[in-house]
């Protein structure tokens, strides 16, 4: 059964290592966010900003050229690159090689926010899924693209994969039309996670994190987070944490997914305390990330005398 919801940090939750005093931005990873389309420049920008707020040293955003100027205007701390766009404002299939070139420079890749449902975008998602040796988190219409692929193709991939579906996206990945009771949906999610050798973060009132063998339910978060853009923020949090060292023997990517889910939910709780659940937006969750992270950074060990 899911644990009761609480603002307390779970005792077994992984912790971030404190930062060394002699350090640089390159010590905390380079995140690439791939997404965006006409009318959806904000979604990948939210993910990119969340990755920065979650400690990534460098964040690059790759979007279709048609929305590059809009995406670049959200925050000067994000590097933005436009690549070939189709007539409908989604990625052109011709953008695939340019995206792969940027991905090869990254430590972790986030794919899907605002990417749209097109043949070109689907082909890019499939290629990233299959070929990236780096850890990748996939959300939103990247999950739609995976659902269009032949299931046998998805069992082969070059690196760790984290998927963050809500219930509807999970049903699509399972190729089911009718809703499932939550316990049955979680069983099916765990089975698919095992088949794909992937981590699933099944979002909901007690978000499930599973690799098919291990399962845990998140205890933070609130109903106000059921609003546009909150999933994009989670995608950025996961991607940033994939680049950063955790304390002790915490393993990737399962422990990263657990930590990201809790921090994201706690940031939402902090936002709800400030603005209420009704008025909460994804940018409020972004604003809550610093305080949420302050609870999960391990204490700094003083130097030996």
Per-residue confidence (pLDDT) for residue 235, from 0 to 100: 98
**Residue 156: exposure state from Cβ atoms within 10 A (0-12, 13-18, ≥19):** exposed
For residue 143, the Cα-to-chain-centroid distance in whole angstroms is 12
Per-residue confidence (pLDDT) for residue 98, from 0 to 100: 98
Q: For residues 30 and 128, what is the distance between their CA atoms, to the nearest angstrom?
A: 17
Q: For residues 200 and 15, what is the distance between their CA atoms, to the nearest angstrom?
A: 20
- Report pLDDT digits (tens) over 188-233: 999 999 999 999 999 999 999 999 999 999 999 999 999 999 999 9
Query: In the sheet where 135-138 sits, what is the strand order?
Result: 79-83, 58-64, 30-34, 108-111, 135-138, 161-163, 199-202, 208-210, 215-217
Q: For residues 65 and 68, what is the distance between their CA atoms, to the nearest angstrom?
A: 5
The two three-digit tokens of residue 145, written as one number: 């693209």
* CATH of the domain spanning 28-294, picked from 3.40.50.720, 3.40.50.11540, 3.40.1190.20, 3.90.1280.10: 3.40.1190.20
Q: Is the peptide bond before 253 cis (omega within 30 degrees of 0)?
A: yes
Any idea where the domains of the chain sit in the sequence? Answer: 28-294
Provide the 8-state DSSP code for 67: G
> pTM of the entire structure?
0.96
Q: For residues 6 and 113, what is the distance between their CA atoms, to the nearest angstrom?
A: 29
- Report pLDDT digits (tens) over 77-136: 999 999 999 999 999 999 999 999 999 999 999 999 999 999 999 999 999 999 999 999
Q: Is 60 exceeded by the pLDDT of residue 250?
A: no
* Residues with Cβ within 8 Å of residue 161, at least 6 apart in sequence: 129, 135, 136, 137, 138, 196, 197, 198, 199, 253
């Amino acid at each position: 059964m899911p644990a009761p919801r609480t603002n307390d940090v779970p005792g077994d939750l992984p912790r971030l290592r404190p930062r060394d005093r002699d350090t640089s931005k390159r010590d905390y990873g380079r995140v690439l966010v791939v997404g965006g389309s006409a009318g959806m420049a904000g979604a990948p920008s939210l993910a990119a900003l969340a990755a920065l707020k979650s400690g990534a040293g460098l964040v690059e955003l790759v979007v279709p050229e048609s929305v590059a100027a809009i995406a670049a205007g959200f925050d000067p701390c994000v590097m933005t690159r436009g690549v070939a766009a189709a007539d409908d404002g989604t990625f052109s299939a011709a953008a695939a090689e340019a995206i792969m070139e940027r991905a090869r420079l990254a430590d972790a890749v986030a794919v899907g926010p605002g990417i749209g449902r097109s043949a070109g975008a689907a082909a890019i998602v499939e290629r990233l899924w299959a070929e990236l040796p780096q850890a990748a988190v996939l959300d939103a219409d990247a999950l739609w693209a995976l659902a269009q692929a032949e299931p046998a193709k998805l069992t082969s991939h070059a690196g760790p994969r984290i998927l963050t579906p809500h219930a509807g996206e999970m049903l699509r990945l399972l190729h089911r039309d009718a809703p499932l009771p939550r316990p049955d949906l979680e069983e099916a999610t765990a089975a698919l996670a095992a088949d794909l050798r992937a981590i699933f973060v099944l979002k909901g009132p007690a978000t499930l994190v599973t690799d098919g063998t291990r399962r845990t339910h998140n205890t933070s978060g609130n109903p106000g987070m059921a609003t546009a853009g909150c999933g994009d923020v989670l995608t950025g949090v996961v991607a940033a944490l994939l680049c950063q060292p955790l304390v002790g023997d915490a393993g990737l990517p399962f422990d990263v997914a657990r930590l990201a889910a809790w921090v994201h939910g706690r940031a939402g709780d902090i936002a709800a305390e400030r603005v209420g659940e009704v008025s909460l937006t994804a940018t409020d969750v972004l604003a809550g990330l610093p305080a949420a992270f302050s609870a999960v950074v391990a204490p700094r060990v003083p130097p030996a005398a």
